[in-house]
Amino acid sequence: GAGVSQSPRYKVAKRGQDVALRCDPISGHVSLFWYQQALGQGPEFLTYFQNEAQLDKSGLPSDRFFAERPEGSVSTLKIQRTQQEDSAVYLCASSSRGGLSNQPQHFGDGTRLSIL
Amino acid sequence: GESVGLHLPTLSVQEGDNSIINCAYSNSASDYFIWYKQESGKGPQFIIDIRSNMDKRQGQRVTVLLNKTVKHLSLQIAATQPGDSAVYFCAENRDDYKLSFGAGTTVTVRA
């Protein structure tokens, strides 16, 4: 598609439930990123993929967070046993090259996750 | 720790005036910077970028200035329009891929 697409746009879950957030990057983009954005803050890095390889997951808050990109295109961010502190906007971004200093990342509109 | 930050959390500007949004960074090794605009309910939208071997870069109605001596970045918007109302973030590219964002400046355009 023309831009990064994320679904669902909004997700409400009860504490303890598992959730899965989907990202469709810009077609042909090698690199894919997940960020977490708390209310009133800038996005915080979670994880980075180059094609299907997850090269950096240092930003994932806990082992309840898991991301995958099995075919090097669509990515899913999964959160198990959700907690209230997981409530945030989850942003996906992609860029055209790997090893990619000096390449802008293009963002989707995010999934707003609310944990009750 | 090192971080990218903005000088002012809010900026109010008269329609038609020029806007200047400032950003200070502390990682002297950073070699690439990006300005993003984020409207309510939307993701960050790329505005303009600049590499560390440049001092100035111009786009359509926007100019980014980079002062490496004092580690300062600014975004100038010419003839500010109501559609420019948004939160503006500067971001620093670390480790060749990881973006580090400041907290953002909220720009409000007065009619």
- Classify residue A115: in a domain, yes or no: no
CB nearest to A101's CB, from B32, B100, B103: B32
Q: What is the pLDDT of residue A101?
A: 61
- Give me the percent of chain B exceeding a pLDDT of 90: 72
Label residue B1 by pLDDT band (50, 70, 90).
very low
Instruction: Pick the residue of B23, B53, B93, B98 with the most A CBs within 10 A to test the interface with A by mutation.
Output: B98
> What is the dihedral sign for C-alpha A96, A102, A104, A105?
positive
Question: Can you tell me the mean pLDDT for A59-85?
Answer: 97
Closest CA to A113 of A3, A5, A18: A18
- Mean pLDDT, chain B, rounded, equals 90
- Classify residue A116: in a domain, yes or no: no
Three-class DSSP category at B93: strand
Q: Decide if A56 and B95 are in contact by the 8 Å CB cutoff.
A: yes
3 state SS for A40-102: CCCCEEEEEEECCEEEECCCCCCCCEEEECCCCCCEEEEECCCCHHHCEEEEEEEECCCCCCC
* A1-50 pLDDT tens trace: 589 999 999 999 999 999 999 999 999 999 999 999 999 999 999 999 99
CB nearest to A108's CB, from B43, B89, B104: B43
Collect all residues of chain B within an 8 Å Cβ-Cβ radius of residue A105.
34, 46, 99
- Mean pLDDT, chain A, rounded, equals 94
Domains of chain B in sequence order: 4-110 (2.60.40.10)
Q: Which of A45-59, A70-84, A96-110, B29-43 has the lowest mean pLDDT?
A: A96-110
CATH number for A85 = 2.60.40.10
Q: What are phi and psi of B82, to 5 degrees?
A: -55, -35
Q: Decide if A4 and B42 are in contact by the 8 Å CB cutoff.
A: no
- Classify residue A91: in a domain, yes or no: yes
* B42-79 pLDDT tens trace: 999 999 999 999 999 999 999 999 999 998 999 999 99
CA-angle at A10, arms to A9 and A11, nearest 5° = 130
Q: Which of A11-25, A91-105, B31-45 has the lowest mean pLDDT?
A: A91-105
Q: What is the pLDDT of residue A103?
A: 81
Tell me the count of A-B CB pairs closer than 8 A: 64
- Classify residue A17: in a domain, yes or no: yes
Q: What is the pLDDT of residue B57?
A: 97
- Classify residue A104: in a domain, yes or no: no
Any B CB within 8 A of A43 CB = yes
- The whole domain housing A46 covers 5-97
Burial track B17-47 (b if 16+ CB lie within 10 A, e otherwise): eebebbbbbeeeebbbbbbbbbeeeebbeeb
Q: What is the pLDDT of residue A100?
A: 54
Measured between CA atoms, how close is B7 to chain A, in angstroms? 14
Domain count, chain A: 1
